Amino acid sequence: MSEETIDMNRIPASVAIIMDGNGRWAKRRHFPRIAGHKRGMNVVEEITTEASDLGVKVLTLYAFSTENWKRPEGEVSYIMSLPSTFFNKFIPKLIKNNVRVETIGDITKLPAKTREAVDNAIEDTRNCTGMILNFALNYGSRLEILNATKNIASKVKNGTLNINDIDEDIFSNNLETSGLPDPDLLIRTSGEERISNFLLWQIAYSELVFVDKMWPEYHAEDFKQTIIDFQNRHRRFGGLVNK
C-alpha cells in the first residue's frame, strides 16, 4: 500500500465501477459462482459506505448488464435475488448515511420480486440528500444510446425539436443518466481491461483505472488507493493545462 494519502479536496464527484470477478474469485476457492456474487454483495456495502464517507456525490455500480441474461438460469436467478437481500439488510444504514438509491437500465424486465425490492429502496431513500447510489441493472449503453436517439427523433418528427438544435447537452439529457455528472473515475476490478457496454457516452473523459483484484477482494483500503491513483493523473480534456 502506498504511503500517499488522499487529498480530501480532490475527491472525484462521480465514480462508476464495473464490479467484475465474482465468478473467478469463487472458482479459485472451489466455491460455486454464486458464492462469489454473495461475497460481492458485501463488498457493495463496504465500498458504498467508504465512498459516501469520502464525499463522493454519485456512485454508479454496474450490477447486471443487458448481456448477462445469457448466463445459466440458476446464476441469473441468484443474482436477481440479491437486491432484496441487500436492501433488507442495508436500507437503515443507507438512510442513516443519507444515501439515495437510483437505477439506470430497464428494471421493468426484472423479476417482479427484484423490481419490488428496488422500487422500495428508491422510495425509502427518496428524501436522502447525500450520495446517490446508482445501480445499473439490466443496463446496456448501446441500448441506452438507441433509446435516446429514438426519443430525439420523435421530438424532431412531432415538431417540438429542431434538428439543428440537437447538441451534446440535449443528447445527454435523453440518456438515462440525465441530470447526473459524467464519471470522473471509472474503475474495473478483475484485471479485465474492457468496458463491456457500460456508459459509453458518459466516459468520454473519465480516468480509467483497472484493478487486478477480483470484486469480492476489493476493500475500502483498495478503493482509497484507487482514488489516490486517480489523483495522480493529469486530466487535460483536450487542452494543455495540467490540472
Report the residue from 52, 65, 125, 138 that binds ligand IPE according to the rule CB under 6 A: 65
Stretch that binds ligand IPE, among 1-9, 16-24, 126-134, 145-153 (CB under 6 A): 16-24
Instruction: Quote the cell numbers at residue 57.
Output: 456525490
Does 194 engage in binding with ligand IPE (CB under 6 A)?
A: yes
Report the residue from 16, 51, 79, 110 that binds ligand IPE according to the rule CB under 6 A: 79
Report the residue from 192, 201, 208, 220 that binds ligand IPE according to the rule CB under 6 A: 192
Q: How far is CA 21 from CA 89, 92, 187, 190, in A?
A: 23, 28, 13, 5
Does 203 engage in binding with ligand IPE (CB under 6 A)?
A: no
Report the residue from 11, 19, 99, 185 that binds ligand IPE according to the rule CB under 6 A: 19
Strand order in the sheet with 14-18: 100-104, 132-139, 58-65, 14-18, 185-188, 207-210
Contact of residue 94 among Mg ion, ligand IPE, none (CB under 5-8 Å per partner type): none
For residues 12 and 23, which CB has a smaller minimum distance to Mg ion in the complex?
Answer: 23
**What is the phi-psi region of residue 124: left when phi exceeds 0, alpha when psi lies from -120 to 50, beta otherwise?**
alpha
Minimal distance in Å, beta carbon 97 to ligand IPE?
24
Stretch that binds ligand IPE, among 20-28, 91-99, 118-126, 156-164 (CB under 6 A): 20-28
140 with 197: CB under 8 angstroms?
yes
Minimal distance in Å, beta carbon 17 to ligand IPE?
9
The 10 Å Cβ neighbour count of residue 192 is: 14
Does 230 engage in binding with ligand IPE (CB under 6 A)?
A: no
Place of cell 465512498: 51
Does 106 engage in binding with ligand IPE (CB under 6 A)?
A: no
68 is annotated as an active-site residue: yes
20 is annotated as an active-site residue: yes
Report the residue from 12, 14, 16, 20 that binds Mg ion according to the rule CB under 5 A: 20
Distance CA 33, CA 108 (A): 26
Q: Going by C-beta distance under 8 Å and a sequence separation of 6 or more, which residues neighbour residue 129? A: 98, 100
Stretch that binds ligand IPE, among 22-30, 45-53, 90-98, 125-133 (CB under 6 A): 22-30
Distance of CA 151 to the CA centre of its chain: 24
DSSP reduced 3-state for 235: coil
DSSP reduced 3-state for 101: strand
- For 57, which DSSP code? S
134 with 60: CB under 8 angstroms?
yes
Q: Which residues are catalytic?
A: 20, 68
Residues that bind Mg ion (CB under 5 A): 20
Residues that bind ligand IPE (CB under 6 A): 18-24, 62-65, 68, 79, 190, 192, 194, 196
